[in-house]
Amino acid sequence: MLETDSFLDYLRYERNYSEETVKAYEEDLRQFEQFGEEEVGAMTPSKVDAELVREWVVSLMDRKYASSSISRKLSSLRSFFKFLLKKGKVESDPLRKVIGPKKKKTLPVFLKEREMNRLLDDIDFGEGFEGCRDRLIIEMFYATGMRLSELIGLDDACVDFSASLIKVTGKRNKQRLIPFGEELKKTMADYVNLRNEVVPVRQDGAFFVRKTGERLYRGMVECIVKRNLSKVTTVKKRSPHVLRHTFATVMLNHDAELGAIKELLGHESLATTEIYTHTTFEELKKVYNQAHPRA
């Protein structure tokens, strides 16, 4: 299609997009061009109208493309026609009346309360410093709902034992306070006492450390969580974020207000937190369908 190459150069040299991103745009535009040629013959921007774009979307859906992939392809096409409008190559944007397929909401994966109780009450994490630390990592995620990056970045100065508060630094360096209860306080105190004995020198006041005194890193924490969650659950995803989802779901199931959960998780919008209500209702539906004689 005419002007495609100049658009790709614009992305490369004016917008400074990575070569990988430019390649993705190119593939989407070439795919649309090929479809258009099969429908209307040799392609020019003036031949593109909303009907042709909608037919392309339908063809992608028929070929079982995910709605997220189709939305991305439409986004590439939208950017291209905005570029053409700006350059005066077309008089109108044919995509202004085109709405992409709705994305299917993916519900968060979470563990059941009984699985978490079994993990924290019955499973052996091993003796010594590392076993104590690994158990605390699991309990910290479950009891506070903090993000992986927030746990890794935690310093001793962020933990106020007397007030039972943890100060975490979340996205865009936004800080928030998370309260904790007596059970977590005891586990934290046991860990700190053992850590100070085994690892007297630590990297810049880090709360969670390796035996070398260095701060933990993402891959290490992910492995610790995955290894231990595997002992009590068969869910495919066994990540720190699953424990964050579990925290939110448990809080909601025990009558916590959605606004309070939003603040504890550090969400910008209540809409982000509301997905946990969908999770709870999905669980209720499942129980109903299994148990009710006329379900």
Catalytic residue set: 147, 171, 241, 244, 267, 276
Q: Cα angle vertex 244, ends 238, 247, to 5°?
A: 115
Q: How many other CB atoms sit within 10 Å of the CB of residue 50?
A: 14
Beta bridge partners, 178, equal 166
- How far apart are the C-alpha atoms of 135 and 124, rounded to whole Å? 9
Spatial distance between the Cα atoms of 274 and 270, rounded to a whole number of angstroms:
6
Hey, what are 213's tokens?
A: 């005194």
Q: Which residues pair with 176 in a beta bridge?
A: 168
Q: Is-contact 142 247, C-beta < 8 A?
A: yes
Distance (Å, whole) CA 13 – CA 68: 27
